[in-house]
Structure 1
Amino acid sequence: MKTSVKTLALALSLLSPFASLSTHALPQGSELKAGAAVWNLFDDADRYALHVAYVHKPLESFYGIRPTVLLVNADQGQHYFAAGLAKDVYKYNDFSVRVAFHAGIVDESENLGDTIEFYSSLSGLYNFSESFSLEAEIGHISNGGLGDTNPGSESFVLSAHYHF
């Protein structure tokens, strides 16, 4: 993976405040997620990225929906900043299936057709303990027809989750 020092420094700076917080500072049931992605999955699979996210605890009064914040930092300097919602739609023992939808902005939009982009994903999570799980995710980013072109792109992301 061609991750630059700048990308790694940005990700660590985003995660470091959370590492110093006690688990009582964030809502119980929330998650921090960090993972590596391969983009252009069905084309050249030539883009790599780092995904970092905060996933809030399920809001029981809103059908268990989980508000999320996502940062994607691609190897060629492209960044995607988004907010969205996630929902665990299936659970069996330590395995669960999650769907998510995000709306956000990308800072270098020439490859995706517009500054506003939507990211949707389907993932499987396996809990190894109360505080740690791994996730395999298939995602799609698109501008939903807002731009002059809408090439879209698919990704595969492998992430680790820390549960509070």
Structure 2
Amino acid sequence: MRARVLTAVALGVALVMAPGTERTARADPAFNVIWISSAALLAAGAVGDMVRGNAIGSDTMPREVDLLTFGAGLNNVWHDNEPDGDLMPALFRFEYRPSYYAWIAHPLAGIEVTSRGSTYLYGGLMADVRFGQHLIVSPSAALGWYQQGDGRDLGLPLEFRTGLEAAWRFDDGLRIGAAFHHLSNAELGDSNPGVEEATLNVSLPIQYFVGR
């Protein structure tokens, strides 16, 4: 069951990011892929973890630690009909993920910067859905403040971010993974072009920097 769910998620994200794919500048298609995939993952993975006792806090699972996440990738990976629809600025991310869990959910806060000077400061929640001891797929949702710089006008400074990350967790808590996110103002502004991001992430235990 889990293999089929992961395959469906991978196919959905691959279709969203396929080269040459264009769309009208609206939030709906990418957002729908993310929330449907997230719902399927939560149902298939999290409920299974509870039944088998593999949830956070169980003696069978490793104790989590605070993480500092560094990401690099591309902004505007799904081309659309906006004036900047063919541009894909570089994207850099720094994120703090405390190890305060409520069931499988934990907070996060971070900042994103593009090579065109756009910045996004945000905070939200992430859910860690586990597939064994090492593979973790994490839906997330955040709210933040966007400054355009020379990048895309997203319609409002207030922007919502939804996304999925798939990561491999090493025994010391280090995670290496890939993520796909979508930003939009949820139709609160006069325009809502939205934008999609794809990154490779490295999440380092904070003990790497401050000691144990």
TM normalised by structure 2 equals 0.60
- Which residue of structure 2 lines up, in the alignment, with residue 70 of structure 1? 110
Amino acid at match of 2:103: Y
- Which residue of structure 1 lines up, in the alignment, with residue 76 of structure 2? 40
Give aligned-pair identity as a percent: 24
Deviation, structure 1 residue 133: 1.7
Amino acid at match of 2:139: V
Deviation, structure 1 residue 71: 0.3
- Give the number of aligned pairs: 135
| Aligned alpha-carbon RMSD (Å) | 1.7
Distance 1:64 1:50, change over 3 A: same
- Which residue of structure 1 lines up, in the alignment, with residue 31 of structure 2? none
Cα deviations by residue, 1:69-116 (Å, 9 ceiling, x for unpaired): 010011111110001000112332211100111100012286211100
SS in 2 for 1:103: strand
Mapped to 2, the partners of 1:94 and 1:47 lie a distance apart of 32
Cα deviations by residue, 1:131-164 (Å, 9 ceiling, x for unpaired): 4221100110101111110001111110111124
Cα deviations by residue, 1:24-50 (Å, 9 ceiling, x for unpaired): xxxx61111001021111113512110
Larger Rg: 2
Mapped to 1, the partners of 2:68 and 2:106 lie a distance apart of 12
Runs of 4+ in 1 over 4 A off after TM superposition: none
- Which residue of structure 2 lines up, in the alignment, with residue 119 of structure 1? 161
Q: Is the CA contact (8 Å cut-off) linking 2:65 and 2:173 kept in structure 1?
A: no
Unaligned runs of 5+ in 2: 1-63, 80-85, 207-212
Q: Which has the higher strand share?
A: 1
Q: Is the CA contact (8 Å cut-off) linking 2:166 and 2:178 kept in structure 1?
A: yes
Mapped to 2, the partners of 1:154 and 1:108 lie a distance apart of 15
Instruction: Say whether residues 1:30 and 2:66 are aligned partners.
Output: yes
Q: Which has the higher helix share?
A: 2
Q: Is the CA contact (8 Å cut-off) linking 1:58 and 1:64 kept in structure 2?
A: no
Mapped to 2, the partners of 1:55 and 1:98 lie a distance apart of 12
Mapped to 1, the partners of 2:74 and 2:171 lie a distance apart of 27
Report which stretch shifted further, 150-159 or 85-94: 85-94
Alignment of 1:111-150 (within 5 A): 111-150=153-192
Mapped to 2, the partners of 1:57 and 1:150 lie a distance apart of 34
